[in-house]
Amino acid sequence: MSSYRPLHDGWTLTAVSGDAEVAGVAAAVPGCVHTDLLAAGLIADPYLDDNEARLAWIGRTDWVYETVFDWSGDGFERTDLVCEGLDTVATVILNGVQVATTANQHRSYRFPVRHLLREGANTLTVRFDSAYAYAEAQRAALGDRPGAYAEPYPFIRKMACNFGWDWGPTLVTAGIWRPIGLESWSGARLAEVRPLVTMEGADGRVRVHVRVERTAEGPLTVDAAVAGVTAQARLEDGQCEAVLELAVPEPEPWWPRGYGAQPLHELTVSLDGRRWSAKVGFRTVELERDGGAFTLAVNGVPVFVRGVNWIPDDCFPARVTRERLAERFARAAEANVNLLRVWGGGLYESGDFYDLADELGLLVWQDFPFACAAYPEEEPLRSEVEAEARQNVARLAHRASLVLWCGNNENIEGHADWGWQEKLAGRSWGAGFYHDLLPKVVAELDSTRPYWPGSPYSGAPDLPPNDPARGTVHIWDVWNREDYTRYGAYTPRFVAEFGFQGPPAYATLRRAVSGELAADAPLVLHHQKAIDGGAKLLRGLGEHLPQPQGFDDWHYLTQLNQARAVAFGIERFRALAPHCMGTVVWQLNDCWPVVSWAAVDGDGRRKPLWYALRRVYADRLLTVQDGAVAVVNDSAEPWTGELSLVRHSLTGKPLARASAAVEAAPRSVELVPLPDSVAVPGDPAAELLAVRLGGTRIVRFFAEDPRVAFPPAAYDAETAPVPGGLEVTVTARTVLRDLCLFPDRLDPASTVDDMLLTLLPGETATLRVTGSPDPEALVGHPVLRVVNGPTVWTGARGRARGR
Q: Within positions 493 to 522, which residues make up the interface with ligand BMA, using CB under 6 A?
A: 497
Query: CB within 8 A of 608, min separation 6: which ones?
Result: 502, 559, 560, 562, 563, 740, 755, 756
* Amino acid at residue number 446: D
* Amino acid at residue number 588: L
Which residue from 144, 103, 132 is spatially nearest to 384, judged by alpha carbons? Answer: 103
Residue closer to ligand BMA by CB (options 504, 782) is 504
Query: CB within 8 A of 137, min separation 6: which ones?
Result: none
Residue closer to ligand BMA by CB (options 410, 603) is 410
Q: Within positions 462 to 491, which residues make up the interface with ligand BMA, using CB under 6 A?
A: 476
Minimum distance from CB of 588 to ligand BMA (Å)?
A: 13
Give the range of 80-88, 159-167, 667-675, 682-690 binding ligand BMA by CB under 6 A. 159-167
Q: How many other C-beta atoms are found inside a 10 Å radius of the C-beta of residue 244?
A: 21
Among 45, 166, 384, 482, binds ligand BMA (CB under 6 A): 166
Minimum distance from CB of 163 to ligand BMA (Å)?
A: 12
**Residue 719 in the binding site for ligand BMA (CB under 6 A):** no
Query: What are the angstrom distances between the C-alpha of 445 and each of 58, 209, 320, 440, 442?
Result: 38, 9, 29, 8, 5
Residue closer to ligand BMA by CB (options 165, 375) is 165
Minimum distance from CB of 165 to ligand BMA (Å)?
A: 5
Give the range of 161-169, 191-199, 608-616, 761-769 binding ligand BMA by CB under 6 A. 161-169
Minimum distance from CB of 558 to ligand BMA (Å)?
A: 16
Residue closer to ligand BMA by CB (options 497, 601) is 497
Q: In angstroms, how far is CA 608 from the centroid of its own chain?
A: 18
Whether the CB-CB separation of 176 and 85 falls below 8 Å is answered with yes
Query: What whole-number distance in Å separates Cα of residue 777 and Cα of residue 773?
Result: 8
Among 132, 167, 490, 639, binds ligand BMA (CB under 6 A): 167
Among 65, 132, 165, 568, binds ligand BMA (CB under 6 A): 165
Give the range of 162-170, 216-224, 322-330, 417-425 binding ligand BMA by CB under 6 A. 162-170
Give the range of 15-23, 40-48, 160-168, 623-631 binding ligand BMA by CB under 6 A. 160-168
Q: How many other C-beta atoms are found inside a 10 Å radius of the C-beta of residue 803?
A: 9
Q: Using alpha carbons only, what angle is made at residue 528 by residues 522 and 529, rounded to the nearest 5 degrees?
A: 120
CB burial of residue 86 (10 Å; 0-12, 13-18, 19+): buried
Query: CB within 8 A of 305, min separation 6: which ones?
Result: 296, 338, 339, 363, 494, 581, 582, 583, 584
Minimum distance from CB of 467 to ligand BMA (Å)?
A: 17
**Residue 409 in the binding site for ligand BMA (CB under 6 A):** yes
Give the range of 165-173, 572-580, 681-689, 737-745 binding ligand BMA by CB under 6 A. 165-173
Q: Using alpha carbons only, what angle is made at residue 478 by residues 159 and 604, rounded to the nearest 5 degrees?
A: 50
Residue closer to ligand BMA by CB (options 536, 579) is 536
Q: Within positions 321 to 350, which residues make up the interface with ligand BMA, using CB under 6 A?
A: 345
Residue closer to ligand BMA by CB (options 37, 563) is 563
Residue closer to ligand BMA by CB (options 475, 691) is 475
Whether the CB-CB separation of 205 and 199 falls below 8 Å is answered with yes
Q: Using alpha carbons only, what angle is made at residue 608 by residues 714 and 480, rounded to the nearest 5 degrees?
A: 120
Whether the CB-CB separation of 662 and 640 falls below 8 Å is answered with yes
Give the range of 4-12, 108-116, 163-171, 542-550 binding ligand BMA by CB under 6 A. 163-171
Q: Within positions 572 to 591, which residues make up the interface with ligand BMA, using CB under 6 A?
A: 586
**Residue 359 in the binding site for ligand BMA (CB under 6 A):** no
What angle do helix axes 551-575 and 533-541 make, rounded to 10 degrees?
70
**Residue 410 in the binding site for ligand BMA (CB under 6 A):** yes
**Residue 372 in the binding site for ligand BMA (CB under 6 A):** yes
- Binding region for ligand BMA (CB under 6 A): 165-167, 345, 371-372, 409-410, 476, 497, 586, 597
